[in-house]
Amino acid sequence: MSAFLHAEDLCFSYINDVEEPPVKTEVLKHIDLDIQKGEFVAILGHNGSGKSTLAKCFNAINLPESGKVTVDGMDTADDNNLLEIRKRVGMVFQNPDNQIVATIVEEDVAFALENLGVEPKEIRRRVDDALKTVGMYEYRMHAPHKLSGGQKQRVAIAGIIAMKPDCILLDEPTAMLDPKGRSEVMKTIKMLNREQGVTIVLITHYMEEAAQADRIVVIDGGEVVLDNTPKKVFSQVSTMKNLGLDVPQVTELIWELQKQGLDLPDEIITEDECVEALERLLPKGEQSDA
């Protein structure tokens, strides 16, 4: 089965034309990566690693310097594919204020559909469905600037959902949100993936968010250095720390206890797993008292 998102020997550089002579900065170096339809993939990497640049290659914001990127078999370098690729792959950025363009929530969600010439009745249906999907239907007549950060981000996601994409790329969508807002957005992302089959590519600095994905891809210096399930990636605590990245707090706790000689399993990434593992170390009487 061919991958929905496919990068083959992908290289990409930024050119600074202000300098004389122009300065070229190589960002992506010979990336090979496949993402299947319906997957939920988290991309991790420290600032400047190339993860956001890679995401932008998957909806043709960035075009390969060399190598190839395809979306459902369509080459992103072919201008004739651009509109169809943008319909299939939507992108949500870190700051929702940069994506909200209207003064009323429902008008903002309808904006892209109107530009595409979608029939008014279909726009009405899609806007209502999208707002209900993200739990923002009751706010449809509100002014976006009066919403919380989490609510704004859900409106931005609704605007993408209304386009009916097969895939949504999310570039640190919770970075500017408080814990409640992060939880709201993650709940929406997981629902879209699990219930509607939308392919999700999530760039995040929050390891607990990445732990909820099916798969984690770690980028460092413009190269893929790890690509596996969350359990397999986060069990490599020393490797992650050497890359300048964290692991979920419970994973680090287990790692520290293992260093003290406690017999605890690897691949623990949730609080429930951590509690269960620690309970096994307690005498049965103490477990019941706990």
What pLDDT, in 10s, does the model give residues 192-207?
999 999 999 999 999 9
Determine the average pLDDT of the residues in 26-48.
Answer: 95
**Measuring CA to CA, which residue among 97, 64, 71, 68 is closest to residue 86?**
71
Of the candidate ranges 35-39, 123-127, 173-177, 226-230, the one whose mean pLDDT is the lowest: 173-177
Q: Under CATH, domain 5-230 is a member of which superfamily?
A: P-loop containing nucleotide triphosphate hydrolases (3.40.50.300)
What gap in Å lies between CA 290 and CA 286, rounded to an integer?
6
The order of strands in the sheet holding 215-220 is 89-92, 167-171, 199-203, 40-44, 215-220, 223-228
The mean predicted confidence, pLDDT, of the chain is: 91
pLDDT band of 51, cuts 50, 70, 90: very high
pLDDT band of 175, cuts 50, 70, 90: confident
- The Cβ-side half-sphere exposure at 172, using a 13 Å CA radius, reads 13
Q: Strand, helix or coil at 96? A: helix
- Sequence ranges of the domains in the chain: 5-230, 248-290
Positive or negative, the CA dihedral 100, 135, 206, 41 is negative
Determine the average pLDDT of the residues in 51-72.
Answer: 95
Show the 3-state SS of 162-178: CCCCCEEEEECCCCCCC
Summarize pLDDT for 72-103 with one digit per residue, the tens.
Answer: 999 999 999 999 998 899 999 888 888 889 99
Summarize pLDDT for 115-164 with one digit per residue, the tens.
Answer: 888 999 999 999 999 999 899 999 999 999 999 999 999 999 999 999 98
What pLDDT, on the 0 to 100 scale, is given for residue 266?
87
Q: Strand, helix or coil at 203? A: strand
Distance separating the N- and C-terminal Cα atoms of the chain: 50
What gap in Å lies between CA 216 and CA 226, rounded to an integer?
8
Q: Record the tokens describing residue 166, joined without a space.
A: 């097969």
What gap in Å lies between CA 250 and CA 181, rounded to an integer?
22
